[in-house]
């Protein structure tokens, strides 16, 4: 099976690498051409445009930034849609608007093409180690055809419903992530201001009812003042904007997500966008 892979950022590059390690033939593309080099050096073919990726592949995977980027990858001139033909499958793994995903799937279906939405969770670490959670929306039989690909990139791969539902489960996921990061942030700010030893605090609270993936994986980075991105504040902000828009559309404007949406946006506006999400703590002057 020939696999096209569009988008070689922090997540995509590791995921593409894991597909190659699993023996899949890759055709890759990224708007920043230099990002293709490490995979090219290992034998991946570099395409000239997204349409070429689609022409050369059976399954075309994209993991880019935001809803408009996915739309551009799929439907711009020289986009994926121009290279598609019967039997090919489009798998978008970007986290984007559930409603837009439904619309993209509909447009592709008019071309006779199946699409899956398959956003992921687990951060750069999960991407590197091939342990991502992957939540997939779309037809069950298409999901099953793509399962070997998903299994090369993730550990907890679940078909969650029809087109858009992968994104909706991801929204639920990001609602939790945003608030769990805020939880860690406020606890550290309190501990710092109260004059406690942060390392001790982290050690004790990680092991009990306050324990979380965020505390375990990002807590030590905060202690070392390492704000390099596993997952960037700009992207978390984008995901929370999607979550907040979804909550409003559903008529349930929940205040926790309203708060995290605002705080991450403020962090991005303050110039912290390229930091990892643990950098939220730098929004506060304590």
Q: Are 108 and 114 in contact (CB under 8 A)?
A: yes
| Contact between 223 and a second copy per CB under 8 A | no
Q: Give min distance, CB of 80 to a second copy, in A.
A: 26
Which residue of the set 35, 88, 170, 232 is catalytic? 170
201 is an interface residue for a second copy by CB under 8 A = yes
Please pick, from the candidates 58, 187, 223, 241, the single residue that binds a second copy as defined by CB under 8 A: 187
Count, residues near a second copy per rule CB under 8 A: 71
| Residue 89 near a second copy by CB under 8 A | no
The C-alpha angle 66, 217, 283, rounded to 5 degrees, equals 60
- Part in contact with a second copy (CB under 8 A); list of ranges 53-61, 63-71, 139-147, 205-213: 205-213
Of the candidate residues 110, 141, 197, 224, the single one contacting a second copy (CB under 8 A): 197
Residue 14 touching a second copy (CB under 8 A): no
Question: How far apart are alpha carbons 106 and 114 in whole angstroms?
Answer: 9
Q: Is 281 in the site for a second copy (CB under 8 A)?
A: no
Q: Is residue 123 involved in binding a second copy (CB under 8 A)?
A: yes
Does 140 participate in catalysis according to the annotation?
Answer: no
Q: Taking CB under 8 A as the rule, does residue 158 contact a second copy?
A: yes
268: nearest Cα among 238, 234, 244: 234
Is residue 204 a contact residue for a second copy (CB under 8 A)? yes
Give CA torsion, residues 52, 55, 58, 60, to 10 deg.
Answer: 40
In angstroms, what is the minimal distance from the CB of 50 to a second copy? 28
Q: Which is nearer to a second copy, 111 or 200 (CB)?
A: 200
CB of 24 to a second copy, least distance (A): 23
Q: Residue 60 in 3-state DSSP?
A: strand
The first and second tokens of residue 146, run together, are 């793509």
Please report whether residue 211 would count as binding a second copy according to CB under 8 A. yes
Contact 158, 119 (CB under 8 A): no
Q: 14: left (phi > 0), else alpha (psi -120 to 50), else beta?
A: alpha
CA 233, 217, 61, 66: dihedral to nearest 10 degrees? -10
Determine the Cα–Cα distance for residues 164 and 139; give it in Å rounded to an integer.
11
Is 203 a binding residue for a second copy by CB under 8 A? The answer is: yes
Residue choice 178, 273, 276, 279 for contact with a second copy (CB under 8 A)? 178
Distance between CA atoms of residues 217 and 228, nearest Å: 13
Contacts of 194 by beta carbon, 8 Å cutoff, 6+ apart: none
Query: With binding defined as CB under 8 A, does residue 15 bind a second copy?
Result: no
200 forms part of the interface with a second copy (CB under 8 A):
yes
> Which residues are annotated as catalytic?
170
């Amino acid at each position: 099976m020939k696999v096209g892979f569009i988008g070689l950022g922090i997540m995509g590059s590791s995921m593409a690498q894991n597909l190659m390690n699993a023996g899949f033939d890759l055709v890759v593309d990224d708007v920043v051409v230099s990002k293709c080099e490490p995979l090219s050096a290992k034998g991946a073919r570099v395409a000239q445009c997204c349409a070429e990726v689609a022409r050369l592949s059976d399954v075309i995977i994209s993991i880019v930034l935001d809803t408009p980027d996915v739309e551009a990858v799929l439907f711009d001139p020289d986009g994926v849609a121009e290279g598609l033909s019967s039997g090919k499958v489009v798998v978008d793994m970007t986290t984007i608007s559930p409603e837009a995903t439904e619309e993209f799937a509909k447009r592709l279906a008019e071309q006779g093409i199946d699409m899956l939405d398959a956003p992921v969770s687990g951060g750069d670490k999960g991407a590197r180690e091939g342990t991502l959670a992957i939540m997939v929306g779309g037809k069950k039989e298409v999901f099953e055809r793509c399962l070997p690909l998903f299994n090369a990139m993730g550990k907890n791969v679940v078909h969650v419903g029809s087109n858009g539902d992968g994104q909706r489960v991801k929204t639920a996921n990001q609602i939790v992530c945003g608030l769990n990061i805020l939880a860690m942030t406020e606890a550290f700010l309190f501990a710092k201001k109260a004059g406690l030893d942060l390392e001790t605090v982290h050690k004790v609270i990680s092991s009990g009812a306050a324990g979380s993936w965020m505390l375990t994986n990002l807590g030590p980075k905060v202690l070392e003042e390492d704000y390099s991105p596993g997952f960037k504040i700009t992207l978390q902000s984008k995901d929370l904007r999607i979550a907040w828009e979804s909550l409003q559309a559903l008529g349930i404007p929940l205040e926790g997500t309203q708060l995290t949406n605002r705080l991450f946006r403020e962090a991005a506006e303050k110039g912290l966008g390229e930091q990892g999400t643990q950098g939220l703590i730098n929004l506060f002057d304590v």
